Structure 1
Amino acid sequence: MGQDPGDGERERSAGVQLARMLRRWWEEAGDPPGRTRPTQQALAGRLGVDQTTLSRYLNPNHPAVAPVRVVEALHTQLRAPGADLDRARELCRAALRDNTRHQAVTGTSPVQSADSADPVDDRRASGRSRLLRLRPALVVMAVVVSFAAGMAVQGQLTDRDRTTVAGGGEGPAASETGASSQWPLMRIGGQDQFTPGRALQHLLNAHGYDVRVDGFFGRDTQDAVMDFQRSRDLPPDGKVGDQTWPELVKVVGPGSKPFEVRAAQELLHNTGQGGTPVSGRFTAATAEDVKHFQRSQRLPVTGLVDVHTWLALLRNQRPPVKAPAYQQGGSPLPSAPG
């Protein structure tokens, strides 16, 4: 049986060619070895679209035409070849033109546009419309409930509680946004968290120490912590918590030194948002990963790893997928190159 001429025409259509190109970008994002390809779920979050929509953009068999802004964002996020971008823009615009012409003649679209809707989308849109109409009332209700809860908590605070919070005692400090800013506590003999341990060791090296970067809080790490604490007039107890972390971390951005950049990249990579290469270079891709994380935590989206971003990163770490080699064999992992 011969191929339907319509199939050949469809194969040559701009929408299918665009979907194939975007799919190739995503599949090649893990090359060369050492780079991590983001999951479609993580990538969709960075682009501000849902995963189902992104899957359509990347599927030549059932494509939807990705808007130009999404094509450009995919090109950046997936580190696609620079020469592909202009061609992708041309295919995107051509596909949108094809859809417009086809709809004018037949009332249907040969390749579904990102803005076209099916019955399920209509129901979702209807639900969103109802939610938007209810939103003002919900906001007022939330404000009233929050105010009442705040008054109740305030009434329960004793004078001692107020003194502790205001004086920065042993309880959690308050951040500028009013949220708890308690830093994780790391110490020798405590539970080894691996990635936060490596970040700590990178930061110690950023301050001039020569510490093995293995994620293992051993005696050499403790000695470096105690020496750092003495240099900052902190109690030299060898524990890294609310007082020591804020002194250790540095604002990381373009031009930052490799050690502090690696510390931030290690933590970003372990938040589960799709993988950040740990290169020691603060690239445009690293800045985009920082911005995505900041959005997810409702922090100011600056692309710089400031003290609030460090805190959020440390509080949102995942355990290792499997036990690190040093835990399996009883000895630390080899150091990362300095």
Structure 2
Amino acid sequence: MTAVKWTFIVVLAWLTTTLFSCSSDEVVYFSAANLRLEDSLTARLVLKKNWAHTPERVDRNNRIESEPVEVPLNPSYPELKALSEANSLEEVWVILEKWKRQQDKDSLRFSILNKQFTRDYLSDYTEHRINIQYELADNDSNEYVSTEVWVQLQILSFKDEILFLSLTNYINDVETFPEVFFRKINRPLLNSFFEQYEQAYSIKISLTDIIFDLAYTVYGEECSMSSLPPIFRVKIEKAIEQKDTTFINLALRLPSLEKQVYAYEALLRMQKSGYQFSSFQQHLIQLLEGRKGNVYTCSMCEYGDRPWRKALESQMQSYPDSL
């Protein structure tokens, strides 16, 4: 029996005994997102512990990623070439609609998952996240082998213009950077967005804030799989206890919708004790009230999402005196 088959048997046996035992401090993630056709019989099984208390995101070499740069299309994923060449939102939607209608053809099958995560920042500036799955069939091998590839498409747009587009593998995990298959950046448009954001919020932001901070801050009380509070929940509770309005005001200015909602919740809870909002806080709250979109929430052993106002209202029910 080949080493590959032994590996498959060992992984399958281990998966059977652990996949359905999602304990309070141990979470198992199984994904074929990083598979290539040539190693499609080898699955990646990743074990993560105490994920909710990981303070920052690192890549596979344990390095913090600096300001993102453009990345050419990984030649291992020629199927994504059309998306990498799209220059407008309209072109992207045409490609995705075509893939939705595509049937089995040349051993390639696309699935556009129903989940589309969209939220805005400033007027006409919008972020889109769409999960895509496609399947390759190796008809040349002795056995029929199917490889599923999971991809997350992330776009920051101004109306129909694309400021930023990336294609990464989809990882439902806060501890590791996704592998970047492709990334392109329109620096002039992006810099214009940063300037407008600074004018509105009196704070400088970078593309790193858009890519990572927005995606991996979870709003809520605790995560059911670990019974532990999200990282920023711990920080905001400490800020409320210490009446640290400097920290709260900072969170209210960050592009992360989750952090802004945490900060708004903190101010509402402090208000019940007689705290009065400053004019600057009222300005920031007004900006938040104008935002549309969902916040990431913890949902069993993976992430879900919910309209931010409903998530805040639900959370505030835990503090009836502050309503």
For the criterion TM > 0.5, the same-fold answer is no
Per the normalisation by structure 1, the TM-score is 0.18
What TM-score do you get using the length of structure 2 for normalisation?
0.19
Which of the pair is proportionally richer in helix? 1
Which has the higher Rg, Structure 1 or Structure 2?
Answer: 1
